[in-house]
Amino acid sequence: MQIGALAKRSTLKTLRQPFQMFPIVFFPAMLLAVNASGLQSATRLPGFPTHSYISFAIAVAFIQGAMFSLINTGTNLAEDIESGFFNRLALTPMRRLALIVGLLVGVAALGALQSGIYIFIGLIFGAHLDAGVAGALVVIALGSLAATAFGAIGCAAALKTGSGEAVQGMFPLFFVFIFLSSSNLPRNLLKTGWFHTIATWNPISYLIEAFRSLFIFGWDAAALERGFAVAIGLLAVGLGLVVLTLRGRLQRT
């Protein structure tokens, strides 16, 4: 009941603010369109796994969407802290963890929604989802999980700093992880040694490759296992940070 009410509030708060929804849809779609056209010639490289760069590149949109969840969730929570709403909630008999779990349930719902939108946009632009309808459901589930994981990290940042500006400042930092991954080319075609090493150690590469596998290979159990493992691992880290920072925040309250 408590979680449901907070989840509904979290979802509506994002959906009702066009300036929060706009970048979630616009930026990944725009980057997808630009990269898919600009890098189409990469499909002519020997060893490139598909002839459709858009099918290859659409995976990045899900990660970008998940990172926007980090910003939106963290900013919304920071606003609640700054406005005093969070403190008032904390003074009610509500269970402490419900304060955050409700928020994250809302993020999970939005993550599923945005993943559905990206699939729709990708199919319109000409992407091919090799794993079919069942694959689309897995993409939505993984997208939702990834959004929740990044949302939890955003919550931890908001609880720690209590500042929306500080949360916003984390966005470029996380974007670096996308850039230094196998986002634009498969790892076997990353010819620069140090870049290949970083991309191999970068967990975001495996998250991207899980989404990508469903679009261009169909069902690749190993890629999906690694992708879900990374998403669950990030969620565990995020929740651990939330527990720690929530304790500190409530002590201050």
Partner 1 sequence: MTPGARPTEPAGGEAGSTMASTPKASGAGANINHPVGAGTWGVAGAVAWRSMHTYLRRPDLIVPSLVFPLVFLASFAGGLSALGSVPGFDFPAGYTAFQFVFVLTQSALFSGLFTGFTVAVDFESGFARRLMLAAGNRRGIVLGYALVALSRAAITLTVVTSVALLAGMRITGDGVDIFGLYGLALLLVIVGYGWAAGVAFRFRSIQAGPLMQTPVFLILFLAPVYVPLSLLKGWIHAVASVNPATAFLGAGRGLISGVHEHTALAFACALGLVVLFAIWTLSGLRAAERST
Separation of alpha carbons 207 and 228, rounded Å: 7
Separation of alpha carbons 99 and 106, rounded Å: 12
What is the DSSP code (8-state) at residue 1? -
What is the DSSP code string of 59-91? HHHHHHHHHHHHHHHHHHHHHHHHHTHHHHHHT
Nearest distance, CB of residue 36 and partner 1, angstroms: 9
Structure tokens at 65: 């969407």
Residues that bind partner 1 (CB under 8 A): 30-31, 34, 37-42, 44-45, 169, 172, 176, 179-180, 183-185, 189-192, 194-195, 199
Nearest distance, CB of residue 197 and partner 1, angstroms: 11
Nearest distance, CB of residue 67 and partner 1, angstroms: 15
Nearest distance, CB of residue 163 and partner 1, angstroms: 12
Give the relative orientation of helices 132-161 and 96-125 as an angle to the nearest 10 degrees. 140
Query: Among 188, 213, 212, which Cα is nearest to 200's?
Result: 188
Structure tokens at 210: 């899980």
Structure tokens at 223: 């890629």
Query: Among 82, 88, 69, 64, which Cα is nearest to 181's?
Result: 64
